[in-house]
Structure 1
Amino acid sequence: MKARSVAALAVVVLTVLAFGPEASAQEAPYDVVPDVEPPIYRVRYEASSEPGGLAFPVRYTLWVPSGVETLRGVVVHQHGCGTGSCKSGLTGAFDLHWQALARQHGCALLAPAYEQPEQAECRKWCDPRNGSSEAFLKALRDLGQSSGHPELAHVPWALWGHSGGGVWAGGMTLMHPERVAAAWLRSGVPSFEADPNRPEAVPFDLPGAALAVPVMCNLGTKEGVTVTDGRFSRVWPANRAFFEQVRGSGGLIATAIDPLTAHECGNQRYLAIPWFDACLSARLPEESGAPLRPMPLDRVWLAEVRGAVASPAGDYEGNPLAANWLPNEAIARAWMTYTADASVADSTPPPAPTNVRIEENVLRWDADADLQSGVAYFVIERDGEAVAQIPEAPKNPFGRPLFQGLQYSDTPLQPLRRMEYQLKDAPRDAAGYRVRAVNTVGLQSEPSD
């Protein structure tokens, strides 16, 4: 890797991310902590007074899918830097779409929320060596006990991180490669080189075991690709340097450049969740406690880092150790669509809602999100005719409209939206009512029973 590319890395990542825009991008009431009850659990730790200990208090919220006797892993959704982004982490475990991914693989969903003060140094938590790795491991033990899943302390991790959360997820991958099934780094990566301007920033090593972990570096085109000046212009050089070091060493890494966004997450989840699905399907062991399985190498596709077309590895004519590594054809085709216009196709309708009921003149139901495309809204039918849409006008300033809305750091809005509809009359029962789910590409489910 060229020295000038690497030298930029440390300056880029934690100069850009230490005081990100997330605080101003959020809206009230993000000081509100959502209530939890099973299957959602929470633990909170105070900051440590010990040298090298956790600098800020942190809450960890865990969702556990019903009917799973032994968890196979945990999906971790890590917010970015800034007070607003930290507060947005409070809703990460409630996200129906990320829950669908976790449920698909018998995993829990975990979302940390650091209590970083305004203008505080993000490095104090997003570098996992500064106490946040130790706190994370403790949270897995404690939440494993409170949820009745002590295996949580030992299962593999699927790590997603935005901004400083990407630095954290990448750092955890380098520190604990034997535990990481896959890592998605949105707009933030750790550094392999010292930064002369920040001597306290210790570079990471690249252990050989980390090369077996599939990694995706994801960023917006306005973060230094097509917009080469401004606040986030150095994010792309940082990601490129990280990619070159890992891929040049034989690592299973790719980049996915969002053609529409800057530092916000946009529509990345529609590539990230299928990508995690492919990686977890390949890597999670069938038996709890067994080691992670290696990624298959006979289905790999490759693509130029800023190219538009991927091809099977055997047909690729360039240097494979300078190319994007994509695990299979389905992901390669989704990557091509995403990097072209940030859309990912989906031809499968969502699952039908269940447990439709009336409680105090309110129609309520349960529903799982579509694994590929999430949930945009629900249609309420009475005697076969549509009478309402919930929400009436779903919104999302950062991507496709969603039932739960979406924040800058890819988590649901507060107050958390409920699956309910206030009835205008007082029916005796719910027999005449049906509910349909509609995903974010407009596909509609079968009606509920």
Structure 2
Amino acid sequence: MFSDQRFLWCQRVASCVGLLLIGIPAIAQLPPYDVFPPANPPYYRVRYEASKEPGELIFPVNYTVWIPPGVKHLRGVIVHQHGCGEGSCKSGLTGAYDLHWQALAKKHDCALLAAAYEQPEKADCQMWCDPRNGSGKAFERCLAELGAKSGHPELAKVPWTLWGHSGGGHWAGGMVLLHPDRVAAAWLRSGVPLLKVDPARPGIKAHSLDAAALRVPLMCNLGTKEGVTVKDGRFAGVWRANEAFFGEVRSQGGLIGVAVDPLSSHDCGNQRYLAIPWLDACLSARLPKSGSESLHDMPIEHVYLAEPTSLEAVAAAKFNGDARKAAWLPNESIAQAWMQYVKDTAVVDTTPPPAPTNVRFSGNELSWETEADLESGLASFIIERDGMPLTSIPEKSSNPFGRPIFQNLQYSDTPTQPLVPLRFSDSTAKPGNKHTYRVIAVNTLGLKSSPSADATSERPQ
């Protein structure tokens, strides 16, 4: 039986085909984001049409959530928010399917949620990336509805962990300022909200900063080519905006850092190899065991500090500069990762990924399940046949913005479509021969997992 989502998708594809056959341009007849991965459990999806009511969202939007299989009670939700423009908005369709981000969510019993706002290319991005324009209300509504769909009504009340790129960073930062008691931590990649009216950014409303927001750990992350070392070009103003936001929050004692990517511009580069460990540290410290408890405060005894555009971080007690102008880092482990990241983004990882599980063979097709390495994600899988390496899946990983990665990456740090499947067809096995297969996971630093359990197959004559 088809799920409701797949049935609707099939209906829409059929409609497209019919319209094309009679000569009517199908793209003009349908909403723009009707092609997406199917949301079968543990995935769930809701879609809202555009509203004409004052203060509500003027664009359609769909939200997809992944619930870790077997979790009894969610402790939080991690939100992966795309940036502005039609291409970035469409990239949000696969955000909840990212195996690396799922590893972070699973560790902390969190859902992973991604939105896809259906913003036309030349429409005003502020109409969704400022949460006061209706996207904040739509987000809270989706949590309640997705909680009901998934059998996890607590989703409507659990803490939020926010990651945002560009306009998504503006949105995530805005949600921190509007709902500081709900946010465990926020990573702002190449986008921040305004705290003061900026003549250079007309039409963007400023937010207010209160004491509760100062307790939320924040990281401003941007590429060096966004105004740090490259002072001109389309994104040269990103550093100025980040510098102003960081300066205002930090001067009041806010728990905020800066991490400058030395290789990139407005793309996301290798930021996930610092963002995920940083968020892991924040979630480990802040998330309560029970949903009825408030978020814990970040511990302060092991803090490190650094000049925002420097390459060195030191324990707070040894920092010689003005602490209220220094980038804040929660502990020594993150400080070490930060120093490597701002040098060359090659964040060190010495632990191999988990071994693939549930390896099975049907016909000539091998399939398996996997969890990504929390620190370094997944680059590929090695297929062994009868104890010897047979092939690598994929033969060559692709990522134009950073380390090669198994699911490939789009501009807004989400997997490409169609999603890369966890399967391999062995066309070289001869009929009637019995073979034993194993699968090995390889992370993005080349570290290999232990081999999976054996899967045995005998192809028919």
TM > 0.5 between the two? yes
The answer as to 2:438 corresponding to 1:434 is yes
- Report the CA distance between 1:122 and its aligned residue: 0.3
Gaps in structure 1 of 5+ consecutive residues = 1-28
Query: Counterpart in 2 of 1:149?
Result: 152
Q: CA distance change for structure 1 residues 240 and 32 in 2, over 3 Å: closer, same or farther?
A: same
Pairing partner for 2:405 from 391, 402, 407: 402
Matched AA of 1:359: S
- Report the CA distance between 1:375 and its aligned residue: 0.3
- Report the CA distance between 1:324 and its aligned residue: 0.6
- Given that 2:376 and 2:445 are in contact with CA atoms closer than 8 Å, whether structure 1 keeps it comes out as yes
Deviation string, structure 1 residues 378-420 (Cα, Å, up to 9, x no partner): 0000111000100001111000001100000000011100010
- Report the CA distance between 1:333 and its aligned residue: 0.5
Query: Counterpart in 2 of 1:322?
Result: 325
1:10-89 correspondence to structure 2 within 5 Å: 32-89=35-92
- Given that 1:401 and 1:440 are in contact with CA atoms closer than 8 Å, whether structure 2 keeps it comes out as yes
- Report the CA distance between 1:192 and its aligned residue: 1.0
TM-score (norm 2): 0.89
Matched AA of 1:57: P
Instruction: Give the aligned CA root-mean-square deviation in angstroms.
Output: 1.5
CA distance in 2, matches of 1:31, 1:220: 32
Query: Counterpart in 2 of 1:412?
Result: 415
Deviation string, structure 1 residues 148-174 (Cα, Å, up to 9, x no partner): 000000000110000000000000000
Pairing partner for 1:188 from 187, 191, 198: 191
Pairing partner for 1:129 from 120, 132, 149: 132
Q: CA distance change for structure 1 residues 389 and 194 in 2, over 3 Å: closer, same or farther?
A: same
Matched AA of 2:450: E
- Report the CA distance between 1:137 and its aligned residue: 0.1
- Given that 2:33 and 2:118 are in contact with CA atoms closer than 8 Å, whether structure 1 keeps it comes out as no
Query: Counterpart in 1 of 2:375?
Result: 372
- Given that 1:48 and 1:55 are in contact with CA atoms closer than 8 Å, whether structure 2 keeps it comes out as yes
Matched AA of 1:172: M
CA distance in 2, matches of 1:112, 1:149: 19
CA distance in 2, matches of 1:338, 1:430: 47
- Given that 2:189 and 2:220 are in contact with CA atoms closer than 8 Å, whether structure 1 keeps it comes out as yes
TM-score (norm 1): 0.92
Query: Comparing both chains, which one has the higher relative contact order based on Cα–Cα distances under 8 Å and sequence gaps of 6 or more?
Result: 1
The answer as to 2:280 corresponding to 1:277 is yes
Gaps in structure 2 of 5+ consecutive residues = 1-31, 454-461
Percentage identity across aligned positions? 64
User: May I ask how many residue pairs the two structures share in their alignment?
Assistant: 421
CA distance in 2, matches of 1:30, 1:399: 27
SS at match of 1:242: helix
- Given that 1:358 and 1:430 are in contact with CA atoms closer than 8 Å, whether structure 2 keeps it comes out as no
CA distance in 1, matches of 2:432, 2:299: 56
Q: CA distance change for structure 1 residues 198 and 321 in 2, over 3 Å: closer, same or farther?
A: closer
Matched AA of 1:388: T
Matched AA of 1:158: T
- Report the CA distance between 1:429 and its aligned residue: 10
The answer as to 2:346 corresponding to 1:340 is no
SS at match of 2:63: strand
CA distance in 2, matches of 1:426, 1:275: 49
- Given that 1:358 and 1:429 are in contact with CA atoms closer than 8 Å, whether structure 2 keeps it comes out as no
Pairing partner for 2:177 from 168, 174, 177: 174
- Report the CA distance between 1:428 and its aligned residue: 7.7
Pairing partner for 1:163 from 159, 162, 166: 166
CA distance in 2, matches of 1:232, 1:263: 7
Instruction: Mark the structure with the bigger radius of gyration.
Output: 2
Q: CA distance change for structure 1 residues 433 and 178 in 2, over 3 Å: closer, same or farther?
A: same
CA distance in 2, matches of 1:338, 1:251: 22
CA distance in 1, matches of 2:194, 2:84: 17
